[in-house]
Structure 1
Amino acid sequence: MKFSANLGFLWTDRALPDAIRAAKAAGFDAVECHWPYDVPAAEVAQALAETGLPMLGLNTRRGDVAGGENGLCALPGRASDARAAIDEALTYAQATGTGAVHVMAGFASGDEAHQTFVDNLRYACDAAAPLGVTILIEPLNRHDAPGYFLTTTDQAREIITEVARGNLRLMFDCYHVGRTEGDVVTRFADLQGVIGHVQFASVPTRGAPDQGELDYAFVFKAIQAAGWDKPLGAEYKTQGDTDASLNWIKTLA
């Protein structure tokens, strides 16, 4: 198994370039992040080149976080802001060699929000295609993100079909699927044809994968048996020092 360290949650006590170096020292095969925009892309690119780790993905900005926003791309009337966030993410991805951008939908509902999301995703995919960048969408569970537009994998698949762009894929987060839908291994098998990246954390606490109700030894073996050979994203919350939480790499891989 190969693993990617999500530096939105891991080694958050360090600057992003140093977190990349820590991931390399810990034995990860890749890294990914949330919102790296406060760090110059050149510094991130240098750390990636130094370590030889690829950056798999990053997120579009959430918008006005203090005002309660968690993404812009399904918000009616905010197309200019959403597309500016997409452009920014793609520019940063290109500068750092990042392979995918997660386009965040935000808190919205209804037919207008759906059409807004579809239109903005087509914009994102068309802009990303010449750069060789994949666009990802991710359903978030109703416990952590009540009111988020994209909530289930079936909804995501329908949107991927409607957008009809070859570089739009599903971010399959075992944690969110486990909390919202359950039956993670069966859902993965059913959706594998549209999945672009896989993430994981314990259910229900979002801690390290060697705890909680989801048996990741079983999940990882099933994903591997299905022929998935890309790094799986460790996107879990630590209870302190990240290095102290990494025993699962030895016991579950």
Structure 2
Amino acid sequence: MSRFSANLGFLWTELPLSDAIRAAKAAGFAAVELHWPYDTPAQDVRAALDETGLPVLALNTRRGDVAAGEYGVFALVGREDEALAAISQSIAYAGVIGAGAIHVMAGNANGAEARETFVRNLKVACEMARGHDLTILIEPLNGFDAPNYFLRDTAQAEQIIHELNAPNLRLMFDCYHVGRTESQVGAQLERLMPIIGHIQFASVPDRGAPDQGEVDYKVIFKQIDALGWDRPLGAEYKPLGLTGESLNWMTTLG
């Protein structure tokens, strides 16, 4: 059985979401994860999931004003009502499709007031999600791709997770972002494993398929196994061409 989850925010983007789910199943993935599926009716996604038998690991909260370059609203001062609407929407959608986790997107912000806002909104999100048996994930993004994003590294995210001490708050550990920002992906995985809720990967530094680049995923995947991780790993990479032509790594690294 495959050990991988297809992130349909990057893979099979040329297809309608329901067909992308079917393509992931045909390619041998064990699960899928979504970015912002809200333009597709949740019942249509549910039907494709039922047809394929694939679980959904996670989806993201809405970005906010995409045209303005927003990347979430949870750390944005004065946007608390939008943050509440975003988590409410994600919980409702996750409930229909059976998703297990929601990635709460902090947004482009910095400073003490932004931190206070993020922590306050995140606490509300955790409390709301807990009643639906959902995990809340937070993810640092590297400064090359997202230079103004509030969560900049794993140490910052770790501090907030320990501060809130919510039982359903976990770290989204993306090997690509960690590799770009902090290096030493293997050492960070081992250190942070107790608070990790999901693991994603792509090549470093170009975010392509994982059988290239600076990070040796044969080594990383073996380490993840040795650490006792038994859930699907999220393939969140950008294919150079059609997704189906980029999947040799599933054999060579799997």
TM over 0.5: yes
- How far has the Cα of 1:198 moved from its partner? 0.1
Q: Letter of the aligned partner of 2:238 in structure 1?
A: K
Q: Secondary structure at the match of 1:31?
A: strand
Q: 1:63 aligns to what? A: 64
Q: CA deviation at 1:83?
A: 1.0
Alignment of 1:219-234 (within 5 A): 219-234=220-235
**Residues 89-238 of structure 1: pairs in structure 2 closer than 5 A:** 89-238=90-239
- Distance in structure 2 (CA, Å) of the matches to 1:234 and 1:178: 15
User: What is the Cα deviation at residue 249 of structure 1?
Assistant: 0.4
Letter in 2 for 1:176: H
Instruction: Calculate the TM-score normalised by the size of structure 1.
Output: 0.99
> Where does structure 1 differ by over 6 angstroms across 4 or more consecutive aligned residues?
none
Per-residue Cα deviation, 1:129-152 (whole angstroms, up to 9, x for no partner): 011100000000000000110011
Deviation string for 1:34-91 (max 9, x for gaps)? 0000000000001111100000000000000101211100001100011101110111
Aligned equivalents of 2:113, 2:101: Cα separation in 1 = 26
2:67 is matched by which residue type in structure 1?
Answer: A
Secondary structure at the residue paired with 1:105? coil
Looking at structure 2, the residues matched to 140 and 198 of structure 1 have their Cα atoms a distance apart, in angstroms, of 14
Equivalent residue number for residue 36 of structure 2: 35
TM-score (norm 2): 0.99
- What's the counterpart of residue 46 of structure 2? 45
Superposed CA deviations along residues 185-224 of structure 1, whole A, max 9, x for unmatched, are 1100000000000000000000000011110111111111
SS of match in other structure, 2:50: helix
Distance 1:130 1:75 in 2: 25
Q: Distance in 2 between matches of 1:105 and 1:6?
A: 20
Task: State the one-letter code of the partner of 1:187.
Answer: Q
RMSD: 0.6
| 1:161 CA displacement | 1.0
Aligned-pair CA distance for 1:164: 1.7
Report the residue type matching 1:91 in the other structure. Answer: A
The one-character-per-residue Cα deviations of 1:157-202 (angstroms, maximum 9, x if unpaired) are 1000111210000000000000000000110000000000000000
Distance in structure 2 (CA, Å) of the matches to 1:19 and 1:224: 28
Gaps of 5+ in 2: none
What letter matches 2:92 in structure 1?
Answer: T
Q: Partner amino acid for 2:46?
A: A
Aligned length: 253
Residue 230 of structure 1 aligns to a residue whose secondary structure is: coil
2:3 equivalent to 1:2: yes
Deviations 1:10-53 (A, max 9, x none): 00010001000000000000000100000000000011111000
Q: State how far apart, in whole Å, the 1-side matches of 2:105 and 2:48 are.
A: 26
Q: What's 2:251 paired with?
A: 250
Letter in 1 for 2:79: R
CA distance in 2, matches of 1:60, 1:140: 15
Identical counterparts, % of pairs: 64
Partner of 1:16: 17
